[in-house]
């Protein structure tokens, strides 16, 4: 076997070294991610430039790139907190968050990759304890769920201010009360509903009775006015009009003029 030329060995070594350097220098950042550049020989984490975006990048082999997910992410939390009267309440909630893109270098430098456990979870738990402690179990169960959701969101945002994290939303998924307290609240709500329904029936009945009284009074007043306006002369004229209409009827009849008490005709016939 022929020996390789002396110049070939250095070329092969150089090629291997080049491949290694390129392999260590090439960085591919996926969709929804960004990279924080760490310069080993130049002040460490780069914070004065935007992070490396999606795609292929070449960096010096002695530097590092720490990749973060920059999409909106969800944190699900089950928290046991105390109400205003000291009862233990379980709150199931979800927080939607994401790192502030242009501050990713600062986030890495000050909090690191486990910023979720270091900052976000403690902030949410602290806010939940503070907010839920203002309300009774009954309020938490019925009318104040939306209110505590908004308040926990605002309290958490205050805690996370200047932490390079953006909190987009906090949702209360469920509020779990002790069984006996829940039953007592539901029983009270049923009683209140039944009481409101009974009061409604009473008001409706009273209005119907008032309506009947008003109608009766109106009818009585109408009859009084009519009676006062009917004189003997008016009644006699109306009787004559009625007699004339009957006389014009095609039905068989006999008319006797002037034999009634009022002087009106008496009509006899087979109808």
Per-position pLDDT tens, the chain of length 271: 455 565 676 766 666 666 666 666 788 899 999 999 999 888 889 998 999 999 988 888 888 999 999 999 999 999 988 888 888 888 899 999 999 999 999 999 999 999 999 999 999 999 999 999 888 887 877 767 788 899 999 999 999 999 999 999 999 988 888 766 656 665 666 666 667 676 777 778 788 878 888 887 777 777 777 666 656 666 566 666 666 666 666 664 555 555 455 555 555 554 4
With 0-12 / 13-18 / 19 or more C-beta atoms within 10 angstroms meaning exposed / middle / buried, residue 264 is middle
Alpha-carbon distance of 243 to 263, in angstroms, equals 12
- Asked if residues 271 and 251 have their Cβ atoms less than 8 Å apart, the reply is yes
Within this chain, do residues 57 and 90 fall inside the same structural domain, yes or no?
no
Distances (CA, A) of 264 to 205, 233, 236, 244: 49, 12, 7, 11
**195 domain-assigned:** yes
Within this chain, do residues 108 and 147 fall inside the same structural domain, yes or no?
yes
Q: Which of 47, 69, 91 is the last residue of a domain?
A: 69
**200 domain-assigned:** yes
Distances (CA, A) of 266 to 36, 237, 257: 118, 15, 6
Within this chain, do residues 59 and 78 fall inside the same structural domain, yes or no?
no
**How high is the pLDDT of residue 271?**
47
**35 domain-assigned:** yes
Alpha-carbon distance of 243 to 252, in angstroms, equals 14
Q: Are strands 33-39 and 44-45 parallel, antiparallel or unpaired?
A: antiparallel
Q: What CATH number is attached to the domain comprising 160?
A: 3.30.479.30
**2 domain-assigned:** no
- Asked if residues 121 and 62 have their Cβ atoms less than 8 Å apart, the reply is no
Query: Inter-axis angle of helices 121-132 and 145-160, to 10 degrees?
Result: 140
Counted domains in the chain: 4
**1 domain-assigned:** no
- Residue whose entry in the numeric block shows the structure tokens 């509903």: 193
Give the single-character DSSP code of 231.
-
Exposure string for 63-73, b = 16+ CB within 10 A, e = fewer = bbbbbbebeee
Within this chain, do residues 103 and 165 fall inside the same structural domain, yes or no?
yes
* Domain extent for 60: 8-69
SS3 24: helix
The tokens describing 128, both together, are 């939940």
Alpha-carbon distance of 83 to 139, in angstroms, equals 10
Within this chain, do residues 125 and 97 fall inside the same structural domain, yes or no?
yes
Within this chain, do residues 219 and 170 fall inside the same structural domain, yes or no?
no
Within this chain, do residues 82 and 47 fall inside the same structural domain, yes or no?
no
Sign of the dihedral defined by the CA atoms of residues 259, 262, 263, 267, in that order: negative
Q: Which of 69, 93, 110 is the last residue of a domain?
A: 69
Exposure string for 165-189, b = 16+ CB within 10 A, e = fewer = bebeebebeebebeeebeeebeeee
């Amino acid at each position: 076997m022929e020996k390789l030329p002396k110049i070939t060995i250095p070329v092969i070594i150089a090629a291997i070294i080049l491949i290694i350097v390129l392999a260590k220098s090439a960085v591919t950042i996926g969709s929804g991610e960004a990279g924080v550049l760490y310069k080993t020989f130049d002040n460490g984490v780069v914070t004065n430039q935007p992070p490396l975006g999606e795609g292929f990048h070449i960096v010096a082999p002695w530097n590092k790139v720490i990749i973060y997910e920059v999409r909106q992410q969800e944190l699900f939390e089950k928290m046991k907190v105390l109400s205003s009267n000291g009862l233990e309440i379980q709150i199931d909630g979800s927080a939607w968050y994401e790192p502030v893109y242009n501050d990713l270098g600062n986030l890495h430098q000050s909090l690191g990759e486990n910023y979720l456990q270091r900052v976000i979870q403690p902030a949410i738990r602290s806010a939940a304890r503070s907010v839920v402690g203002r309300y009774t179990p009954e309020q938490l169960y019925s009318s104040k769920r939306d209110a505590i959701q908004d308040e926990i969101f605002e309290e958490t945002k205050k805690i996370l201010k200047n932490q390079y994290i953006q909190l987009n939303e906090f949702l209360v998924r469920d509020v779990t009360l002790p069984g006996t307290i829940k039953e007592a609240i539901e029983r009270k709500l049923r009683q209140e509903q039944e009481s409101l329904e009974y009061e409604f029936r009473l008001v409706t009945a009273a209005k119907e009775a008032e309506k009947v009284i008003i109608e009766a009074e109106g009818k009585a007043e109408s009859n009084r006015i009519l009676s006062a306006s009917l004189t003997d002369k008016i009644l006699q004229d109306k009787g004559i009009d009625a007699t004339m209409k009957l006389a014009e009827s095609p039905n068989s009849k006999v008319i006797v003029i002037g034999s009634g008490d009022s002087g009106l005709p008496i009509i006899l016939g087979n109808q």
